[in-house]
Amino acid sequence: MRTYLRSYFATLFAGDLAAFGAPPTDEALAGHIRAEQVSLVLGYSFGIMLANACNALVLAVALWQSADWAFALVWAAAVSSAALFFGLQARASRRIAKPQFVSRRTMYRLVRNALALGTAWGVVPVAFFANASSGAQLVITCLCAGMLAGGAFAFSTIPIAAIAFTGPIFLGTAICLGRDGDFIYLLMAVLVLVYGSVLLRGVFLNAFEFRRRIIAQHEAERTVRQDPLTHLPNRVAFNEALNGALNRLSRSSEEFAVLLLDLDRFKEINDRYGHPAGDEFLVQVAARLQRCTRAAEHVARIGGDEFALIMSNLTRPEDALAIAERFVAAFADPFPIDGFEITGAISLGIVLAPRDGTTSHDLLKHVDIALYRAKKSGSGTICFFETGDDQSARDRRALQHDLEHAIEADQLFLVYQPFLDIRKGRVTGFEALLRWQHPTRGLIPPTVFIPIAEESGLIHQLGEWVIRRACAMLSRWPDDIRIAVNFSAVQFQNVSILQTIVEALDAANVAPNRLEIEITESMLISKYGSAPAILNGLLELGLTVALDDFGTGFSSLTYLRKLPFSRIKIDQSFIRDMLTQPDCAAIVKSVIGLAQDLQIGVVAEGVETADQLEYLRQTSCDEVQGYLIGRPMSGSEISALLDHDPQHSVHAA
């Protein structure tokens, strides 16, 4: 009971309407409501306190002839100086930015001050009415009525403060009217009672409505600033926080860091385990990240799989690094979701303000560049922004610009690398590999420009050009030679690629089964919704599909069952190490065995030595590709070789 009463009074004096039956709120929201209530009171305070001071002086003048003039003077001096003091204080605090949260203690002080001032006015009818002239009595009556109305108005959003202020005035008036016993005073007492209850009813109605409005507004603002899935602040809130940090930087040189986090391979998780599991993964990630931060800091979710943190009041860059390392370590344990143990990882970019920028534009651009470098360096990498990064981003943009004109400027060309059938000892086909002869930078490798083309969308144009060129080249070669073309994951977004293939095959008059498309495992589980449609379209057209870089992705056997691949290409990293590392040898043997059991062809990539070739021969690998057999060559070189040897039994190396 004692605890209940204590908590009830704490709620009551904190100005919380829950004490009068309103639904309770959490402390954060209650603090926000208090902030709005206090701010409103402070808004009126200066004027009302000035009125208090004037009224006190008017009373002193009215009582000048009364027997109580000395007491009235002291009273008026005390009340008007206190009122002026509080009024000026309120005016000063209004100049400071409006707080988002006000503590209970502040509200207790406000209620206490209201009670003190109300008590001062409550003294007036008790102390001065009896000995006052009839004119002074009229003044006292008017002043008390005015104070009641003014107090109720000033505290119309905080009923307990309104009661604390008006209560003593009502009490003083009641004592004053009651002790005389005159009938007319009794009538006045009834009038005051009616007046008071109408006033307080108005206060309560207004306070409840005000509270309802603030809660609705708070909810609306929360929706605008909160990520609905993880309940973390969203991009809007993050941008506001960033602007706040920049303001503090310019006002008080308070340094800060911005950390940008990106989940590695989140799309694969989403596609592999489904969207509900992907959502749950994000929720768990958000909780883990938030646990790594200091109490006052909030990780924001600013994109699908992108999170960010502003570290204010940064004294040393090492502090930002320490939190970043904590973020990375938070992914050490897998995430239990729907009975699966899903592993995740993040990459991080960090910028320091003012070192890396003093505007949100610069900081966000630079942190993005730092993150880009981190992602390129591999999972779980943390990179601070470096001045050189900006240069490489500019280089990249320049390269993209040049690539946009590379086709029409005739700077692209294909080279062809042979596949050798080990058993027959003859070339069965070629892989078409794209090259870019840049006018000033020289030969640019595909590992540099293909990612740029993929990110910028230029890959669609490039991919179509490769298909047309490869088919045209194929038409010049014997019918038993196939050509393999690499496909990027993004090309699965573009259904029109099927039309391009049909047109290219028609134009070159080449049988579809001579064209093979190489795709990687990651494409099968990529986000591109049209991937299955395009894959089936390719197969229906009669093309063959090879699974490239096998062993480096998920190596999902399900896909091998589901899709009629014509070939698996064992990634060159296994071939390179198979003679020295038993685990690589075991993988190579198993994949070859698996392909044979599934009756799929198998190609070993990156064969560079005769020993490797011999080992693959002994393990019954179907085909090999690599520098030992032949480096990528121009179309005319290949045509010359094929013309020279109709049996294609060449070793082009």
Ligand X SMILES: Nc1nc2c(ncn2[C@@H]2O[C@H](COP(=O)(O)O[C@H]3[C@@H](O)[C@H](n4cnc5c(=O)[nH]c(N)nc54)O[C@@H]3COP(=O)(O)O)[C@@H](O)[C@H]2O)c(=O)[nH]1
- Site membership for ligand X, residue 347 (CB under 6 A): no
Binding span for ligand X by CB under 6 A among 158-166, 178-186, 428-436, 472-480: 428-436
Which of 79, 367, 450, 595 forms a contact with ligand X (CB under 6 A)? 450
**Binding of residue 626 to ligand X (CB under 6 A):** yes
Give the shortest CB-417-to-ligand X separation in angstroms. 6
State yes or no: residue 185 binds ligand X (CB under 6 A). no
Q: Between 335 and 430, whose beta carbon lies closer to ligand X?
A: 430
CB of 570 vs ligand X, minimal distance in Å:
10
Q: Is 28 exposed, middle or buried (0-12, 13-18, 19+ CB in 10 A)?
A: exposed
Distant-in-sequence contacts of 529-536, Cβ < 8 A, 24+ apart: 530/492, 530/493, 530/494, 530/495, 531/489, 531/492, 533/495, 534/491, 534/492, 534/495, 534/497, 534/498, 535/492, 535/563
Q: Are 396 and 452 in contact (CB under 8 A)?
A: yes
How near is the Cβ of 530 to ligand X at its closest, in Å?
17
Q: Please tell me whether residue 605 binds ligand X under the rule CB under 6 A.
A: yes
Q: What is the DSSP string of 432-499?
A: EEEEEEETTTEEEPHHHHHHHHHHHTTHHHHHHHHHHHHHHHHTTS-TT-EEEEE--GGGGG-THHHH
> Between residues 259 and 519, which has the closer beta carbon with respect to ligand X?
519
Instruction: Output the smallest distance, CB 577 to ligand X, in A.
Output: 13
Going from the C-alpha of 53 to that of each of 71, 85, 161, 496, the distances in angstroms are 16, 10, 20, 82
Cβ 487 to ligand X shortest distance, Å = 6
DSSP 78-119: HHHHHHHHHHHHHHHHHHSPPPS---HHHHHHHHHHHHHHHH
Please report how close the Cβ of residue 446 comes to ligand X at its closest, in angstroms.
3
Residue 434 within binding range of ligand X, rule CB under 6 A? yes
Does residue 433 touch ligand X according to CB under 6 A?
yes
| Choices 211-219, 354-362, 589-597, 601-609 (CB under 6 A): range interacting with ligand X | 601-609
Q: Report the site for ligand X in 467-496 (rule: CB under 6 A).
A: 486-488
Amino acid occupying residue 431: E
* 516 lines the binding site for ligand X (CB under 6 A): no
CB of 468 to ligand X, least distance (A): 12
Listed residue (497, 549, 484) closest to 523, CA to CA: 549
Residue 623 sits in the site that holds ligand X (CB under 6 A): no
Nearer to ligand X, 344 or 606 (CB): 606
In whole angstroms, how close is the CB of 392 to ligand X at the nearest point? Answer: 20
The site that binds ligand X (CB under 6 A) totals a number of residues, namely: 23
Shortest reach from residue 488's CB to ligand X, in Å: 4
- Residue 430 contacts residue 484 (beta carbons within 8 Å): yes
Residues 392-421 that bind ligand X (CB under 6 A): 417
By CB under 6 A, is residue 446 in contact with ligand X?
yes
Query: In this structure, are strands 623-624 and 346-353 parallel, antiparallel, or unpaired?
Result: unpaired
Tokens of 265: 């391979």
Which tokens hold the place of 19? 């004490």
Q: Does 510 interact with ligand X (rule: CB under 6 A)?
A: no
Report which residue's Cβ sits closest to ligand X.
626
Q: Which string of x and - marks every residue 131-170 that binds ligand X (by CB under 6 A)? A: ----------------------------------------
- Rounded Cα distance between 330 and 324, Å, is 10
**Given 368, 390, 608, 637, the residue binding ligand X (CB under 6 A):** 608
Shortest CB 445 distance to ligand X, Å: 5
Half-sphere exposure in the Cβ direction for 634 (13 Å, CA) = 6
Determine contact, residues 235/260, Cβ cutoff 8 Å. no
Binding of residue 549 to ligand X (CB under 6 A):
yes
Site for ligand X in 252-311 (CB under 6 A): none
The residue written with tokens 């009661």 in the block is 163
Candidates 122, 429, 553, 606; binder of ligand X (CB under 6 A) is 606
Of 349 and 606, nearer to ligand X (C-beta) is 606
In the list 14, 143, 466, 508, the residue contacting ligand X (rule: CB under 6 A) is: 466
Which string of b and e fits 172-193 if b means at least 16 CB within 10 Å? bbbebbeeeeeeeeeebbeebe
Stretch that binds ligand X, among 62-70, 80-88, 396-404, 623-631 (CB under 6 A): 623-631
DSSP assignment of 11-29, as one string? Answer: HHHTT-GGGGTPPP--HHH
Rounded to an integer, what distance in angstroms lies between the CA atom of residue 276 and that of residue 331? 20
Which one, 222 or 375, has the nearer CB to ligand X? 375
Question: How many other CB atoms are there within 10 angstroms of residue 647's CB atom?
Answer: 11
Cα–Cα distances in Å, from 13 out to 105, 110, 435? 9, 9, 77
Tokens 């003044």, residue located: 139
Q: Which helix (H) or strand (E) holds 281?
A: helix 275-291
**CA nearest neighbour of 141 among 240, 250, 62:** 62
The yes or no reply on residue 627 touching ligand X (CB under 6 A) is yes
For the CB of residue 465, give the shortest distance to ligand X in the complex, in Å. 9
Our finding on whether 457 is near ligand X (CB under 6 A) is: no
CB of 606 to ligand X, least distance (A): 4
State the nearest-atom distance from the C-beta of 433 to ligand X, in Å: 4
- Per CB under 6 A, which region of 113-121, 131-139, 176-184, 621-629 contacts ligand X? 621-629
Minimum CB distance to ligand X smaller for 346 or for 531? 531
- In the complex, what is the shortest distance from the CB of residue 234 to ligand X, in angstroms, rounded to a whole number? 35
**Would you say how long the chain is, in residues?**
653
Residue 445 engages ligand X in binding (rule: CB under 6 A) = yes
**What does 209-263 look like in DSSP terms, one character per residue?**
HHHHHHHHHHHHHHHHHB-TTT-SB-HHHHHHHHHHHHHHHHHH---EEEEEEEE
Site membership for ligand X, residue 447 (CB under 6 A)? yes
Which one, 440 or 447, has the nearer CB to ligand X? 447
- Is beta strand 340-342 parallel, antiparallel or unpaired with respect to 335-337? antiparallel
List contacts with ligand X (CB under 6 A).
Answer: 417, 431, 433-434, 445-447, 450, 466, 486-488, 548-549, 572, 605-608, 625-627, 632
